[in-house]
Every structure is written in C-alpha cells, then in structure tokens.
A = this chain, B = another copy of it.
C-alpha cells in the first residue's frame, strides 16, 4: 500500500460527519463505524460493529497467539461539532492539504491519530504476515460526549478485551518533533444550571428594578465560583488535591511551552490563573472551574429591552488526583443551591464526568513506550501530564486492570474542537512508524 493510498483512506474516514453530540448525524455515525469494520476486515483482522444504547463501538482483533503480549489500541471516530462553521477556511468534512498540513474536523482529534496506528499494523502485517504482539483495536463513537456506553461495554466484554497494556494516541506533543509521553490527565465533571424567573420575557422599563433578572443572577452565580486569587470557591473543592512532585515541577520548568508560546497559540493578551503556579502547572496539574457556555435574554443584533425569563450556564470542572468527580458535582450542586437567591428558580443538571489519571512513566511498559518514541522521532521523549480528560483511561485501569500509554501526536496548534482543526502529514507518518516500533518494544519488554 503506497502512501497516497494511505492518505486517501484517511480522507475517506475524515469525510464522515460523525458528530456524536448532534442526533442529526446518527446515520453518519453508523456509516463511519461500518467503514472502519470493512477496513479492519480487509487487513485480515476479525472485526465487528457492536451496538450500544448510543453510537456503536468498533472492535477488531488479530488471532490471539500465546506467548506474546496483547496490546489494545484505543481511538474514537466521533468528532466535535463544527460551529462556527463560517470560520473554517475549507469545509470541515472535506479534507484539504495546505503546506503539508491536513485540515479537517477530526484530523487530529482523533481520526488522524488512531488511523496511523491502524495503518502501522497493516504495514507490519503486509511486510511480515504477522505481528509481534496480539492486537485489539477498540474504536468508539462517543468520546466527545463522555463515553457513556464504553464502560458497560468494557465490563460486558472484559474477557475478550483482556490485554497487557493499552496504547492511545489522543494527547499532545509539547512541540513539533518532540516525542511526548503523557503519564497523567485531568478528570472532568460537567454541570449545567438554568435559572427561571418571570413566566414571560418582561418589559425592562415596566418591571425593571422590582424583579430579579435571571441573566444577572446567572452572572452572579458564575462570577462567584472564583475568588480574587482565581481559586475555586466551592467549599471542599481542594480537599483531595495531591500536591505536585518536585521532579515534575523541575522537568516542566525546562519545557519550551512557556508563557510566550501559550500567548502566541491562544492570542490572549495576557495569561491568567491560580496564584502560585506556572502556566503549565495550572493546565496540567491544578483543578479548574470553567464556564463553557452562558446565555440569557436577547441574543440578536441591537437592543431589546427585556428581562429574559430564563438563563443557562454550562460549567465544567477539570479535576486532578485524588478529586472524585461525583463528589465534586455534589459539592458544586450544594454551592449553587446555597448561593442562588430565592427570587429565581434553579434547575441543576449534572453532565458527563470522569476521574483524573496518573501512571508511573518509569514502569517496564512506560520505558518501552519511551524507547519507541525515541526511535520514531530520533529524540529523547518528554514526560508530561495533560490538562484534558480521557475518562476511558481510568476505565481501562478499573475494568481491565492495565495502564494506558498515552503517545500523543497532536501539536499545540492543532485546533482540536475549534475551526480549522489540522494534522501535519509528518505526524501522520510518524504515527505509523511509532505504531510499528511500539509493538516491537512491547514484545521485547
């Protein structure tokens, strides 16, 4: 299989509008899963689409041979919504290469990354007719909505999924050409609250001053989540937080992704955050309270002098070891209920959540991953944590009893979750090499 064919196949995969959060794309999800099953079958793997109460899981396996380790490679074929679509320079579902960079929704997160592993296995099989390890591919369709059905799937297929280690490429590299092993992730807990005041939008001249404005109360409750030091005010929020280790702070202090880079990548005029920590420490190892969406009252152009009847706030909390997501949601709910005035009615809906993750990067498997990264990129790998959440990593630990090697291929400016998501062709190629080396190193370990 030549390289152009590999890119063509990636493009086929990227063209599926597999937006898991939006029910209008339900059929696209099925079509995408079917396409993956067919691909795995062409490679000579046993592959099946498994129905779930939500979007299907794709499972593919090589013949399980004794005396060699079993490696489970996880990925997800679902993607984030594409809004605001007008800010894309090329259509999000029509992959476009500009200056050797692939632009498409899902190019980095996660189709480009997991498909590099698929092609690595295909190349090895074509070259040797066999693999150095037993391989299992588990590609789900609900990662962007919190993987609600994967945990039950792992549990009901635990014997079939038994393995020695999981490998995932869904995290970041600290910079171009800098191989990166991620040994920790933040957890997440989402919650939305809606405030209801008057039964209809009120004229702000006739009633203004005498009734509470749900949009104003929403602002007050949201603003009240932080103190002047940008610390979260929710009572008990920091009780379980483990402090950073000295060696971590020392390694990270040497990394190039400093404040200047973050300013450059994000375009913000100045960084911001919890007092007493560097920007990387805040992003990777400190918990947050973030408002992901707020809305209330008139949303159109110009002015409309109403007191809107309701307002909503979508919150998410990034968590670190040993904060428990359900415990944090309980604390947040109690905080909101305590501080919401009785001039409006509050409705709280808990959303998806998952725990943080931490593994030992100097374990046998951790060292094998470091060796594969070193060879694939010809450079000493960097050990980091990341600020995002991959709840499934904790599930692998809990249900299958194994660690997960996070071998990210995403660059800092990949625009995951944003317009113009992209993935360099060189990272796609490196991912294919990395897969081949990783399976070799793990077979030796």
Contact = CB atoms under 8 A, between A and B. Distances in A.
A303 B290 CA distance: 12
Interface stretch (A32-40, A212-220, A360-368): A212-220
A254 to B, nearest CB: 18
A219 B208 contact: no
The 6 A-B pairs with the shortest beta carbon distances in the complex, nearest first, are: A205-B388, A199-B267, A219-B222, A293-B297, A209-B282, A293-B298
B21 A304 contact: yes
A302 interface: yes
Given A294-B294, A297-B314, A307-B290, A388 B344 contact: no
Given A172-B206, A288-B209, A267 B198 contact: yes
A415 B218 CA distance: 24
Interface in A292-309: 292-308
A316 B295 CA distance: 17
Interface of A: 21-22, 80-81, 83, 87, 145-146, 172, 186, 188, 190, 192, 197-213, 215-216, 218-220, 222-226, 262, 266-274, 279-280, 282-283, 286-288, 290-308, 311, 313-314, 316, 318, 341-345, 351-352, 386-389, 415-420
A204 B294 contact: no
Contacts of A388: 203, 205-206
Contacts of A273: 209-211
Nearest to A171: B206
A210 B272 contact: yes
B269 A387 contact: no
10 contacts: A81-B300, A199-B266, A204-B316, A210-B271, A212-B270, A272-B343, A292-B306, A292-B307, A293-B308, A306-B417
Contact of A203 (B21, B206, B343, B416): B416
A206 B387 CA distance: 5
Given A219-B291, A226-B216, A292-B304, A269 B343 contact: yes
A251 to B, nearest CB: 18
Contact of A208 (B215, B222, B290, B342): B290
Nearest to A186: B205
B283 A303 contact: no
